[in-house]
Amino acid sequence: MTIKEFVALEKAKLAEQAQSFPKKPHLVIIQANDSPASDAYVRGKIKDCGEVGAEATLCLLPPTVSEEELLNKVQEYNEDPNVDGLIVQLPLPPQISEKKVKLAVNPGKDVDGFHPLTTFVPCTPKGIVDYLTEEGFPFQGKNAVVLGRSEIVGKPMSRLLLSKNCNVTVLHSKTSEEDKAFYIAHADLIVVAIGRLGFLDNRFQYKPDAVIVDVGINRNEEGKLRGDAIPDLPVALQTPVPGGVGLLTRLALVKNLFIAAKK
C-alpha cells in the first residue's frame, strides 16, 4: 500500500472513532515564529485535525514574546481540561529556551512526545513504524541502520527499533565513510534523517530486499522538495519525498491526540 493510501485509510478510521467520543479531541498549537515553513506545517496539522473530526486551536504569539509569557501560555493550556494535546511549533525565537519549553508541557498532553516523561512516542518514528508494520516488515532480528542522531528523529527512532527487537546501528556525522558503506551494505532497514540532499546514492551498495525510509526534507537547485536519498535506489521499498514520511508524521500526531483524548 502506498503511504498516501495508508494515511487516507487510517484517517478514515480515526474519523469514525471520533464519532464515539463524548467531545471532539482538541489540539492546541502554540506558534511563536513567523517562518513560512512553520506556517505550512501548522496549516497541515490543522487540516488533519479537521479531517479526523478533531478540533485545533492555533495560539499565535509574536516572535518577540518573552520566555515567561510563552511559558505562562503553556501553563494555561496545561491546566485547561478542554485541551487534550498541546504542542509548541519549532523553531522558537532565540530568547526562548527550547529545553525549558519542552519540559514545561504537561507530559500527559505532550502529543509531540518531546518531554522526557512523555507517555507518547515521538511522531516521526511512530509514523514510520506504524507504516512498516502495515507493510509487514519483520522487525525482529533485522539489521536496522539509522543515519542521524537528532533528539526528534534519530535517537527516538533507534530506541523504537530496538524495542521492536531490531539490531540497531546509529551512524552520524563522525562515522567514517568506510563504516557507513559497511553498515549500509548489510542493512535490512535504513532510516536516513540527516538533511543532506541525495546523500544515499549509487556509491553505496544495498541489499536488494532492503527498505529505505527517507526522512530528509531538502530543496534541490530548482527549489523542489527532495529527500536524503536519490529516487529509485535498487531496494525492495523506498519511501518518496514529498508524499512520504512527512505524511506519516502528521498521521502519528493525530493518533497521539486521540490517545490523549481517551485518557
Show which residues are catalytic. Answer: 45, 89, 112
Grid coordinates belonging to 237: 521499498
Choosing from 81, 173, 208, 263, the residue that interacts with ligand NAD (CB under 6 A) is 173
Where would I find the beta strands (DSSP E) of 172-217?
A: 189-192, 211-214
- Fill in the DSSP letter of residue 29: E
Q: Is 161 in the site for ligand NAD (CB under 6 A)?
A: no
Quick check: 201 and 231 in contact, CB under 8 A? no
Q: Is 249 in the site for ligand NAD (CB under 6 A)?
A: yes
Quick check: 215 and 153 in contact, CB under 8 A? yes
Q: Which residues contact 263 (CB under 8 A, 6 or more apart)?
A: 108
Choosing from 18, 153, 187, 211, the residue that interacts with ligand NAD (CB under 6 A) is 153
Q: Is 124 in the site for ligand NAD (CB under 6 A)?
A: yes
Q: Is 187 in the site for ligand NAD (CB under 6 A)?
A: no
Q: Is 215 in the site for ligand NAD (CB under 6 A)?
A: yes
Grid coordinates belonging to 215: 526522512
Q: Is 212 in the site for ligand NAD (CB under 6 A)?
A: no
| Distance from C-alpha of 64 to C-alpha of 256, rounded to nearest angstrom | 30
| Rounded least distance, CB 155 to ligand NAD, Å | 9
Using the rule CB under 6 A, give the single segment among 24-32, 66-74, 81-89, 191-199 that binds ligand NAD.
Answer: 191-199
Dmax (CA) of the chain = 56
| Rounded least distance, CB 248 to ligand NAD, Å | 7
Quick check: 65 and 89 in contact, CB under 8 A? no
| Rounded least distance, CB 39 to ligand NAD, Å | 16
Give the interface with ligand NAD as residue ranges (CB under 6 A).
124, 147-150, 152-154, 171-173, 175, 193-196, 215-218, 245-246, 249
